[in-house]
């Protein structure tokens, strides 16, 4: 798949599951990956920081295979080398990770996303060659020990406008507060525990996608 095709697929993303085995309610994360794809997710991000490198590569390749079979994009969190070696469609970088410009200098074919928390970071992401940004954390979150202060959904439009790139939103988003971010124009919703800790992962993904696309239809 070339960069143009990956960008086209990203435009169609609605729910954006981020999977960490520690947040999978005791289930194997590869199984959870299959469940979110069965629910219709068009993208999956693997976020694992504690597995040995050989196990992580095997896991990333398994995710890549599952996503490819489902026609979905596969994104690796933080690790460009792992993204490239596993055949991933993209890498997602935080503010403390490899600079976007360095990642872009090493590859022009995969997507590079970056987490942003304010307008300045969003503008810099665009200037440095990012393909999309994530805005967050929107609400308080427990999935990252060093997460910055939450923004609130009302900050979404200004940060999105500063980058003028496709964007996702993340951080403490659950079914109960989803409408608040949709009301601010977000249409690509990244979630961790709101999906991966649910008893019915596939059904949860289907329900969330339906709600997002209802808003999209009203907006169009």
Convert the pLDDT of each residue in 135-168 to its tens digit: 999 999 876 656 568 999 999 999 999 999 999 9
Res. 220: pLDDT tops 60: no
CATH 3.20.20.70 fits 3-219, yes or no: yes
User: How high is the mean pLDDT of the chain?
Assistant: 95
Would you list the domain boundaries of the chain?
3-219
Please calculate the CA angle 159-160-165 and round it to the nearest 5 degrees: 135
Note whether 189 and 14 are within 8 A (CB).
yes
Two structure tokens written together for 61:
């390749």
C-alpha span between 157 and 154 (Å, rounded): 7
Q: Is the peptide bond before 137 cis (omega within 30 degrees of 0)?
A: yes
If pLDDT is split at 50, 70 and 90, which confidence band does 52 have? confident
Convert the pLDDT of each residue in 94-118 to its tens digit: 999 999 999 999 999 999 999 999 9
Convert the pLDDT of each residue in 67-93 to its tens digit: 999 999 999 999 999 999 999 999 999
C-alpha span between 103 and 51 (Å, rounded): 23
**Active-site residue numbers?**
47, 115, 144
Two structure tokens written together for 193:
């525990």
pTM of the model: 0.96
- Bridge-based pairing of strands 90-93 and 111-116 is parallel
- What pLDDT score was predicted for residue 143? 67
């Amino acid at each position: 798949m070339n960069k143009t095709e990956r960008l086209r697929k990203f435009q169609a993303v609605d729910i954006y599951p981020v999977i960490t085995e520690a947040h999978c309610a005791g289930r194997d994360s590869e199984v959870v990956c299959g469940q979110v794809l069965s629910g219709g997710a068009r993208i999956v991000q693997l976020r694992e920081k504690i597995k040995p490198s050989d196990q992580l590569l095997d896991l990333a390749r398994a995710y890549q295979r599952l996503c490819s079979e489902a026609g979905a994009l596969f994104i690796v969190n933080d690790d460009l080398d792992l993204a490239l070696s596993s055949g991933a469609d993209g890498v997602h970088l935080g503010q403390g990770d490899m600079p976007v410009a360095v990642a872009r200098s090493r590859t022009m074919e995969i997507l590079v996303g970056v987490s942003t928390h304010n307008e300045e970071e969003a503008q810099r992401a665009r200037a440095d060659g990012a393909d999309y940004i994530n805005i967050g954390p929107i609400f308080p979150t427990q999935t990252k020990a060093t997460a910055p202060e939450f923004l609130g959904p009302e900050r979404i439009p200004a940060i999105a406008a500063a980058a003028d790139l496709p964007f996702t939103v993340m951080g403490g988003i659950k079914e109960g507060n989803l409408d608040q971010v949709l009301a601010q124009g977000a249409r690509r919703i990244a979630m961790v525990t709101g999906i991966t800790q649910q008893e019915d992962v596939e059904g949860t993904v289907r329900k969330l996608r339906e709600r997002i696309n209802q808003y999209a239809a009203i907006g169009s």
